[in-house]
Amino acid sequence: QRWSMIHPEWGLNYKLCRLQVFLMLRLRRTALTEMRVELVTSVYVQVYYCRSLALIYIEHTCLQRFFELTTDQKTPAGLRSVLRRLCALYGLWSLNNHMATLYQGNYVSGRRPAELVQMAILALCSELKDDAVALVDVFAPTDFILNSPAGNADGQLYKNMWSAVMQGTQVLERPSWWKEFCSDKPVVGSLRSRL
79 and 156 co-located in one domain: no
- Report the C-alpha gap between 5 and 108 in whole angstroms: 9
Whether residues 20 and 107 share a domain: the answer is yes
- Same domain flag for 88 and 62: yes
For the chain, the average pLDDT equals 74
168-186: per-residue pLDDT in tens?
788 888 888 777 777 767 6
CB-based burial, 56-89: b 16+ in 10 Å, e otherwise = beebbeebeebbeebeeeeeeeebeebbebbbbb
Task: List, in order, residues 6 or more apart from 138 with CB less than 8 Å away.
Answer: 79
- Its domain, for residue 157, covers 142-173
Clarify whether residues 39 and 132 are in a common domain. Answer: yes
Nearest-CA neighbor of 104 among 29, 24, 10?
10
Shared-domain flag, residues 162 and 105: no
Residues 149 and 89 in one domain: no
pLDDT over threshold 60, residue 58: yes
Q: Is residue 161 part of a domain?
A: yes
The pLDDT value recorded for residue 37 is 57
pLDDT of residue 179: 78
Q: pTM of the entire structure?
A: 0.54
The predicted-structure confidence for 61-104, as pLDDT tens digits, reads as follows 888 888 888 888 888 887 888 888 888 888 889 888 888 877 87
More confident residue, 2 or 21: 21
Do 51 and 104 lie in one domain? The reply is yes
CATH number at residue 56: 1.20.140.10
pLDDT at 26 over 50: yes
Task: Indicate the pLDDT class of residue 5, thresholds 50, 70 and 90.
Answer: very low
Residue 160 lies in a domain: yes
Q: What is the dihedral of CA 117, 120, 122, 126, to 10 degrees?
A: -160
Q: Are residues 103 and 69 in the same domain?
A: yes
**Same domain, yes or no, for 25 and 93?**
yes
